[in-house]
Amino acid sequence: MDQPLASRTAPTPRIDAVQLNADIEATARFGGTGNGGVSRLTLTPEDKAVRDWFVARCIELGCRVDVDPIGNLFASYPGRNAALPVIMTGSHLDTQPGGGRYDGVLGVLAGLAALRALKSSGIVTEHPLTVVNWTNEEGSRFSPAMFGSGVHAGAIALDEALAVRDRAGISVGEALDAIGYRGSQAYRQTPAAYVELHIEQGPVLEAEGTAIGTVTGVQGLRWFDVVIEGTESHAGSTPMANRRDALTAAARLILAVEAIGRAHAPGVLTVGHAGISPNSRNVVPGRVNLQIDMRHPSQTGLDAMETALRQAVAGQADSRIERIWAKQPVAFDPACIEAVRQAAVGCGLSCRDIASGAGHDAAHLAALAPTAMIFIPSRDGLSHNEREYSSPRQCADGAEVLLRTLLELDRRLA
């Protein structure tokens, strides 16, 4: 007989670490590279293959699987009280080209592992539980990133997302039809809470020897395009005193960007692209285009960094700056964060609060429901890289904390 969650004699569900690692190995075959990584862009044949694998595993566990019109997969596992809203977990199965096997994938597979642990222990939660695979978190084929969760949360219009085209001219709608994963009806359930497990994708937890990151929120982001004008002239016949070298001015600005980022920790500021014109060995550069990425966990920090950046650009002759995109910082729910913290302590694992420097589907879900994230260490801080790695023990630890967090939220919210 199924054990009620509140029973003092009910067995404690435990994650099957061996099976979780086997699932990671299994999914890494879909789009696997020769160097141990994965290239599985969204809505490709490789993505279809891993989706088919995921659906089959969910059905084996007794889940109902729904597909919405943007291709998000919702695997729902019954709880004791069908009238209660679902508690949701998950992440994404798509990867970067030449990416790793843990980014996003771990969050989906840990959700499956949690359901498997509940089923094997006979424990039934009060709320139904739903494991989600969000479409196009990476944004490597279709832009913007995270539009699966964005459509679900109402931040992005469905028609707008379906019309986006990749470099080959294929639309999202066409790609969904090609792999058979365009659903006909929206998933209407608003979750009681959402929790996402993810690798850190940075070096902090590993450097400190900390097992679990309790994620307080997602940094805000602003993108800027900067243009610096100079005068193209012959490299051999133009004296140094007579030059208007756009690249020299750009170099000064790049150093200023580095200084601004260091002065506004924990914010970060990056020049990720430089376009030099005419980009010829024997011509003094006449124009440089810079693309700048700015991130900070607070709105105040973003404003201060932008003010300093605009002052630095103004200090270079014949230069201009344009902000082309922005996302506000997202703060996660304090009660959900505390549930993660307690779960880590209950597992005997060290933990620390940390802000996410990368974007995640959880940022969209936070507008719908109380939300939290769990981080585990990434070796050398690497992600979006074939050498991305978190050990089987670290993955299992993260899944254990996820399971305990889901159980605690089920107890509190019921």
Torsion of CA 297, 303, 304, 309, to 10 degrees: 110
Per-residue confidence (pLDDT) for residue 11, from 0 to 100: 66
Question: What is the reported pTM?
Answer: 0.88
Q: How far apart are CA 309 and CA 302, in angstroms?
A: 10
Per-residue confidence (pLDDT) for residue 43, from 0 to 100: 98
pLDDT digits (tens, 9 = 90+) for 218-276: 999 999 999 999 999 999 999 999 999 999 999 999 999 999 999 999 999 999 999 99
From 3.10.580.10, 3.40.630.10, 3.90.1170.50, 3.30.1330.60, which CATH number describes the 3-218+330-413 domain?
3.40.630.10
Residue 10 pLDDT class (50, 70, 90 cuts):
low
Per-residue confidence (pLDDT) for residue 34, from 0 to 100: 87
Show the tokens assigned to 362.
Answer: 């959880």
Expressed in percent and rounded to 5, the helix, strand and coil fractions of the chain are: 35, 25, 40
**Residue of 288, 277, 290, 309 whose CA lies nearest to 228:** 288
Instruction: Give the 3-state secondary structure of residue 349.
Output: coil
Rounded to the nearest 5 degrees, what angle is found at the Cα of 289, between the Cα atoms of 286 and 293? 155
pLDDT digits (tens, 9 = 90+) for 202-217: 999 999 999 999 999 9
Show the tokens assigned to 124.
Answer: 């039934």
Residue 3 has pLDDT above 80, yes or no: no
Residues in contact with 314: Cβ distance below 8 Å, sequence separation at least 6, in sequence order: none
Residues in contact with 195: Cβ distance below 8 Å, sequence separation at least 6, in sequence order: 87, 88, 89, 336, 340, 371, 372, 373, 374, 402, 405, 406, 409
Beta strand spans in 230-267 (E): 233-234
Establish whether domains 3-218+330-413 and 220-327 are of one fold: no
Residues in contact with 342: Cβ distance below 8 Å, sequence separation at least 6, in sequence order: 404, 408
**Residue of 116, 3, 13, 2 whose CA lies nearest to 408:** 13
Show the tokens assigned to 60.
Answer: 């084996």
**Residue of 251, 236, 252 whose CA lies nearest to 284:** 236
Quote the DSSP letter at residue 365: H
Amino acid identity at 412 = R
Residue 99 has pLDDT above 80, yes or no: yes
pLDDT digits (tens, 9 = 90+) for 162-213: 999 999 999 999 999 999 999 999 999 999 999 999 999 999 999 999 999 9
Alpha helices in 164-232, H assignment, sequence order = 172-179, 204-208
- CATH 3.40.630.10 for domain 220-327, yes or no, is no
Domain ranges of the chain: 3-218+330-413, 220-327
Mean of per-residue pLDDT scores for the chain: 95
